[in-house]
Structure 1
Amino acid sequence: MKLARPTILTLRSVALLYLLVLVVVPIVTILYRSFERGLGTFWEWITTPAAISALQVSILIVLITVPLNVIFGIVVSLALVRGNFPGKGIIQAIVDLPFAVSPVIIGVSLILLWGHGGWLGGIENLGFQVIFALPGMVLATIFVTLPFIVREVEPVLREIGTEQEQAAATLGASPWQIFSRI
């Protein structure tokens, strides 16, 4: 079915307007509200001890989460693409869980799991606090972001196939050499 030119233009206009409302309007609103009292006031807001502390914690979480996501994302992707093991479907479902569950539910679940009186909450008695501390924030961030890594790496691994890995193994490469070089 071929659509008429005015219909195509109308559909494109509606899609662009929808995109404008969802993306551009919130960004412009945030920028306007941030600078409506002037650059000096904005600078005062972002140089408060609370804002600097929040930025430092955010950077620390990124510095911890990104390497862990890379390591675990590649390992899980390799296992799901190259492996044939019982429970593979369960691992697939666990990876997709953050896409299907609200972040609020995830937060409550982490509190119930790691909080005082939770299944793993006894670790606080050893002097190691997870919930409402950096480890809890890192766990929550990894839980939410890891599926994006896995779902991006999986198709790449499927596309490149195993021919190069098999050739390297035939030529005597160790599993670590195959992983690191290919």
Structure 2
Amino acid sequence: MIDFSKFVEFHGLKKWAALLVMFSVLFLPSQVFAEAGVEPRRIVLGSHQPLSGPMKTYSQVGRGALIYFQYLNDQGGIHGRQLVLLQRDDRFQPQRTLEVVEKLVMKDRVFALFSGIGTDTSESAMPLLKSQGVPHFFIGSNARRFTEPARHGIFGLLPTAEVEARVLGAFVGSNHPGEKVILW
């Protein structure tokens, strides 16, 4: 049997490192920033979410982020700056994602994208984000392309589908040997 504990520990550490990087950027003193979306009293982030359409149940991720940001703001924000999260409805359609991300980057001048949902939707915005130097934190996709190879300014959130399959397979093999199991 393969021991995945070290693999999981490493990837868990990788996620914490990404969190540390994100929050280090957000908590740095104001003199460091000459960035879009970072203002004396607020930090503006953007997000593409399926607020309507067949995948709208995933918009709960964005609602959770808004609740957490409100909690942080109630505690005084980040070095006195309030976090603002502009969520735009992409209907889980890549072309629409590109349109809303272009508006977030070019018109709303967000500092970064935060927790966009979907593989093809997030990928559709990558060329624009790269050309404008806008990072994307915590992409809601388990596609390997958001974590391997590492790309500047791209921070995936979820383990890859391959990692999930290996971990689940190891669990089932250890805890339910010889049984028929369906994983969905």
User: In which range does the TM-score fall when normalised by the shorter chain?
Assistant: under 0.3
TM superposition score normalised by structure 2? 0.26
Rg (Cα) greater in structure: 1
Structure ranking higher on relative contact order (CA contacts 8 Å, 6+ apart): 1
Richer in strand (by share): 2
Richer in helix (by share): 1
TM superposition score normalised by structure 1? 0.26
